[in-house]
Homo-oligomer: A and B are copies of this chain.
Amino acid sequence: MSDLPSTVRICEEGPREGFQSEPPGIVAAAKIELIDALAETGLGDIACCSFVSPKYVPQMADAEEVAAGLRKRAGVRYTGLWLNASGFARARATPLDLTGLVVASASETFGIKNNNRNRAEMLAGQQSLMSDYRDAAIDAFAAYVFTAFGCNYEGEIAPTLVIGAIEDLLSVIPDPEVVYLCDTIGSASPPTIERVIAEVRSHWPELPLGLHLHDTRGVGMANALTGLQLGVARFDTSIGGLGGCPFAGNRPAAGNLCTEDLAYLCAELGIETGLDIPALIEAARLAEHIVGHPLPGKLKQAGLPARLL
């Protein structure tokens, strides 16, 4: 199967991006229970909450309470998300493990609509955050390229736009732990993933790439397989496929690729993830119980095949 990596790092986004897509009302204790359960599955990175405006994202208004309530387990990075200096200042006051975030958008229109900033303003914002990161002695950095595979506003995204976004990011952090190519609107497909990754590697052959995928149109796992075949060794996923119930009509918020389903694919491919799949299935069922509606992940329904039990 071509250039499959020998190990893959799967980073959990469910408590952050997932709960953010649910209606408000999930209590901090339930979020903490899920994060604690996830920390027992072998996951090394769990995105726990966002430090963003409670006016626009009321689901994350309890970010400090969640962060304070975690039973931190050694070997697990409990991360958070923020978009500006005041968000970072809030995160810094919690016991979370801070990873320096820098973001750029391949689609400038998306950046303007989502972050209210054009390309130059996005870059200036990241540069300004860097001084805060230095002040906090942060030494791990993750870079995100939004809309790397398509945009609801601009439609097709030329790979050169992705290159431009990565140039911006690398001008801020020359040595990121990972550069995530994000299928923000869930329009990626195997050939677009091949094309963008080939273009990025033609510029930076050794850049550590990750994929942040959504299963918006049913081809999320085919996209993940394509990434694996190209040697991509890092994925953002969410437990149970949390992040948008495909049946609630919230089309823009279709779920992230499902953690336990991707872990199963990796296991089948002989790729080491360090994850305990039965424990992930239990956590996915807990997530489903917490949100109170079915989540799209499949393995939690079917369980592992008989030959693996």
Q: A246: nearest residue on chain B (CB-CB)?
A: B301
A201-231 interface bits toward B, Cβ cutoff 8 Å, 1 = contact, 0 = none: 0000000000000011111111011100000
> A298 near B254 (CB under 8 angstroms)?
yes
Provide the bound-state CA to CA distance between A194 and B217, in Å. 25
Copies in the complex: 2
Stretch of A74-82, A133-141, A164-172, A185-193 on the interface side: A185-193
| Contact between chains at A150 and B305 (CB < 8 Å) | yes
Q: Are B217 and A302 in contact (CB under 8 A)?
A: yes
Instruction: Give the docked Cα–Cα distance between A192 and B264 (Å).
Output: 13
Contact indicator A222/B265 (Cβ below 8 Å): yes
> Does A49 count as interface, using CB distance less than 8 angstroms?
no
Contacts A251-B303, A269-B189; A264 near B194 (Cβ below 8 A)? no
- The interface on chain A, measured as residues whose beta carbon lies within 8 A of the other chain's beta carbons, has a size of 52
CB contacts (< 8 Å) of A247 on chain B: these are 294, 301
List the B residue with the shortest CB-CB distance to A268. Answer: B189
Among A7-15, A28-36, A86-94, A151-159, the one that faces the other chain is A151-159
Chain B residues closer than 8 Å to A302, beta-carbon distance: 186, 216-217, 246, 251, 254
Q: Does A45 contact B (CB under 8 A)?
A: no
A220 to B153, CA, bound (A): 30
Considering the complex, which residues of chain A in the window 217-271 have a beta carbon less than 8 Å from any beta carbon of chain B?
Answer: 217-222, 224-226, 246-247, 249, 251, 254, 258, 260-262, 264-265, 268-270
Most chain B beta-carbon contacts within 10 A, residue among A152, A247, A258: A247
Q: Which residues of B contact A190 (CB under 8 A)?
A: 1, 225, 265, 268-269
A residues 259-309 near B (Cβ < 8 Å) are 260-262, 264-265, 268-270, 294, 296-299, 301-307
Residues on the B chain within 8 Å of A268, using CB: 189-192, 219
Interface residues of A (CB under 8 A from B): 1, 150-153, 155-156, 185-187, 189-192, 194, 215-222, 224-226, 246-247, 249, 251, 254, 258, 260-262, 264-265, 268-270, 294, 296-299, 301-307
Given contacts A190-B265, A219-B264, A296-B298, 20 further A-B contacts (CB under 8 A): A1-B190, A1-B194, A150-B307, A153-B306, A155-B307, A187-B306, A187-B307, A190-B268, A191-B268, A191-B269, A217-B261, A217-B302, A218-B258, A218-B260, A218-B297, A222-B224, A247-B294, A247-B301, A251-B302, A251-B303
